[in-house]
A and B are shown apart, each in its own frame.
Chain A
Amino acid sequence: MTTLSFDASSDPILERRRRIQSVASVSLKRRKVYSRIAIGICWLFLAVAIVPLIAVVFYVVIKGLPAWSVDFFTKVTVPEGIPGGGVWNAIVGTIEIGAVATAVTVPIGLLCGLFLAESEGKVAATIRFSADVMTGVPSITIGIFGYIAIVKNFGGYSGLAGAFAIGIIMLPVIMRAGETAIRGVPANLSEAAFALGARKAATARRVVLPAALPGIITGVLLAIARGLGETAPLLLTIFGNQYLQWNPTKPMEALPLVIYNNSSQPYADLLQVAWGAALLLMVVVLILSIGSRVVASVLQREKR
């Protein structure tokens, strides 16, 4: 044994291997410690991220639920100090503005999506690029546009001006989502339709659009969810209205406006209405987002 160890220590190759091993084990230890710390930081960041997000949802539910009552959904807003009242006028406004914006932008957006999906080249690329940029445009500037284009030219603040602004925000989203969904349809489906003698329009209506429907519905629902939550454009276009207003050519109220205006008020009752409206808006938006997933997966399963 002694001779062997004597030989080994004098053997340059074994000596080198031992040196490498000792360096490697030190390095491995260091790397492991380093890894532990870094992975720990990742977990810490996960916790840091989860806490405020849960807190937001928690507070909105806790503070919003007490505001909910039959009156909350059926009566119009009342000034501070007067008991009762609700947000019925804001619900009407939000639904009408959302419905008009959706009804106008969905057909336009889908046809643009069809165009983009069927076109290559510089023109299509430019349009695609401008649609992408439009999705990132600050929403307040869209509000300014709504004010300049509609409010100033067509008889003042109105629900339609708000629907115009919200529609401009939704349009590029629907375009790009539509294009992606349509591009996802296998080319052999439309080729088969062409082979049967169908023209492009019939192919698009009977074959491509039905096949792309899950993706389209998902995109449209997400666009509506985004549109309903927008506040800044509405501040510049619909003005707000404490009375019930069904006529979309007149100033209207909307849920985001109630939240924004009431939250900076020092009165507890107005603040409670703001929390109630926030909960309602959050629930609606979440239902739309969850609904888009459910619809997409159900239609996907039916197709198989």
Chain B
Amino acid sequence: MTMAVQTPRGGARRGGRLALSNGVYRGLLAAVVAVFVAVVIWFLVSLIVQARPAFSTLGFSWIIQKTWDPNSNKFGLLPFILGTIETTAIAMVLAVPIGLGTALSLAYLVPHRLRPPLSTAVELLAAVPSVVYGLWGLIVLAPLFREHVEPFLTSVLGWTGLFNGPDQGVGLLLAGVILFVMVLPTMVAISRDVLAVVPNEQVEGAMALGATRWQVLRKVVVPGARTGLLGGFTLATGRALGETVAVALVIGNSPYIAHSIKSPAATLPSLIVNNFGEATGTELSALFGAGLVLLVIGVAVNAVARMLVRSTSRAAAAASVAVA
């Protein structure tokens, strides 16, 4: 046994310097992985350490206080947490139905010959940098919103009370819409992929039972792709939560809680990027704390999504084994 495992000397020389023994090779890989693990830990620890002064001088309640005023030493994060959640909510309310409808069209409704080029185009658009969306939103969309979209929405939906205040263009609504446009390609690309791999037998079976086209999509295709769709939605949510520059350009950057969907507001990332340059002392620490809060929210969304996806896919695997 030992004879068979040993490599002759000549063989080792022919292999050159890369003829590492298996133990050394595994050790090398483990060392490199340790570098990655160390960086992740370094990342978490340094963020926590740098944010700690804010927690120790302001107490834990500063996270949910309403006032951000560095001059009077108040660093409440509530307006920014709300702004982050509100812009993401606007984006997802638009992106989930429109993304799903687009993905269904691309996977099942568009003529066969158009599907590959359209799908490729969508995937390429997913790579467009977010700052480009921000530029477009600020220069092209903001005037359009101020002159046309916001007056129209106010006249139609003003009774809800969501659209009080002046039409400014920049604000929560525009930020949400920009996030929607930005996450749309990612979401459509993922959704289309998982919708397209639903087994053909199931689709044909439903058609043979007399289901209409919509019933096939609604009762067979969408449930069959549920897991992947959920993963795509949460991935998009995570991107919307953490987006910095596109939002910072179009949200108007106001440190107050928004009273209308048209009001200027701010998110955690836009707060950080706008105040970082001049901040010192407790304010700087508070900004790091804002980053920590954002990280916790972002990682929680991500981790829950991945665990959800894993548990449903395991259940699906178990079910398919049971059926087989």
Instruction: Report which A residues bind B (CB closer than 8 A).
Output: 28, 31-32, 34-36, 38-39, 41-46, 48-50, 52-53, 55-57, 59-60, 63, 108, 111-112, 114-115, 118, 127, 129-134, 136-142, 144-145, 147-149, 168, 171, 175, 197-202, 204-205, 222, 225-226, 228-232, 235-236, 256, 259-260, 263-264, 271, 274-275, 278, 281-282, 285-286, 288-290, 293
Q: How far is the CA of A168 from the CA of B40 in the complex (A)?
A: 9
B25 with A204: CB separation less than 8 A = yes
Q: Would you call B25 and A138 a contact (CB within 8 A)?
A: no
B239: chain A residues at CB < 8 Å are: 136
Report the minimum CB–CB distance from B210 to chain A (whole Å). 8
Decide: A53 and B125 in contact? CB cutoff 8 A: yes
B291 & A141 in contact (Cβ 8 Å cutoff): yes
- Within the complex, the shortest CB–CB distance from A282 to chain B, in Å, comes to 6
Query: When A45-B101, A202-B15, A264-B138 are in contact, do A289 and B124 touch as well, CB less than 8 Å?
Result: yes
Chain A CB within 8 A of B28 CB: yes
B13-49 at interface with A (beta carbon < 8 Å): 15, 18-22, 24-26, 28-30, 32-33, 35-37, 39-40, 42-43, 46-47
Assess the A231–B130 pair: CB atoms within 8 A. yes
**B304-324 interface bits toward A, Cβ cutoff 8 Å, 1 = contact, 0 = none:** 001000000000000000000
Known: A63-B139, A259-B134, A259-B135. 6 other contacts (CB 8 A): A34-B212, A136-B235, A137-B299, A144-B288, A199-B7, A235-B245
- Give chain B residues whose Cβ lies under 8 Å from the Cβ of A271: 139
Q: Please name all residues of chain B whose beta carbon is closer than 8 Å to the beta carbon of A115 when the two chains form the complex.
A: 29-30, 32-33
Determine if B242 and A171 form an interchain contact, defined as CB atoms under 8 angstroms apart. Answer: no
B175 in the interface (beta carbon within 8 A): no
Whether B127 and A286, one on each chain, are in contact in the complex, defined by CB atoms closer than 8 angstroms, is yes
Within 8 A of A (CB), among B184-214: 184-185, 188, 210, 212-214
Bound-complex Cα distance A55 to B135 (A): 12
With A232-B244, A263-B249 already in contact, the answer to whether A281 and B132 are too (CB < 8 A) is yes
Q: Note all chain B residues with C-beta closer than 8 A to A230.
A: 129
B215 x A259 contact (CB < 8 A) = no
In the complex, what distance in Å separates the CA atom of A46 from the CA atom of B107? 11
- Chain B residues with CB under 8 A of A52: 181, 184
Interface membership of B1, Cβ < 8 A = no
In the bound complex, what is the Cα–Cα distance between A243 and B110 (angstroms)? 50
State how many angstroms separate the Cβ of B254 from the closest Cβ of chain A.
15
Quote the shortest CB–CB distance from A123 to chain B (angstroms).
9
A278 near B46: Cβ-Cβ < 8 Å: no
Q: Are B32 and A56 in contact (CB under 8 A)?
A: no
- Give every chain A residue within 8 A of B132 (Cβ-Cβ): 56, 60, 229, 259, 278, 281-282
Instruction: Please pick, from A108, A149, A293, the residue contacting B36 in the complex, using a CB distance under 8 A.
Output: A108
Residue of A nearest to B35 (CB): A108
| A175 to B33 Cα, complex, angstroms | 10
Known A112-B36, A144-B272: A137·B249 in contact at CB below 8 Å: no
- Assess the A133–B33 pair: CB atoms within 8 A: no
| Bound-complex Cα distance A275 to B128 (A) | 14
Indicate if B302 sits at the interface (CB-CB under 8 A): yes
- Residue B102, interface by CB 8 Å: yes
The closest CB in chain B to the CB of A34 belongs to B214
CA A138 to CA B203, docked complex, whole Å: 39
Please name all residues of chain B whose beta carbon is closer than 8 Å to the beta carbon of A226 when the two chains form the complex. Answer: 127
Give which listed residue, B32, B135, B214, B301, contacts A39 with CB less than 8 A. B214
Cross-chain contact B32 with A231 (CB below 8 angstroms): no
Report which of B50, B134, B306 forms a contact with A260, defined as CB distance below 8 A: B134
Q: Does the CB pair A148–B101 fall under 8 Å?
A: no
Instruction: Give the chain B neighbours of A114 by CB distance below 8 A.
Output: 29
Question: Is the Cβ of A140 less than 8 Å from the Cβ of B272?
Answer: yes
Interfacial chain A residues near B47, Cβ < 8 Å: 141, 144-145, 148
- Give the complex CA separation of A141 and B288 in angstroms: 8
- B276 in contact (CB, < 8 A): yes
For A42, A147, A149, A286, the residue with the greatest tally of chain B CB atoms inside 10 Å of its CB is A42
Which A residue sits closest to B302, measured CB to CB?
Answer: A136
User: B106 to A46, Cβ gap below 8 A?
Assistant: yes
Would B20 and A137 count as touching, CB distance under 8 A?
no
Contact yes or no, A263 B134, CB < 8 A? yes
A-B residue pairs in contact (CB < 8 Å), sample of 22: A31-B212, A31-B215, A36-B214, A42-B102, A46-B105, A111-B33, A133-B306, A136-B235, A136-B302, A137-B299, A140-B269, A141-B242, A144-B288, A147-B276, A168-B43, A198-B15, A201-B25, A202-B19, A232-B269, A236-B276, A263-B134, A289-B124
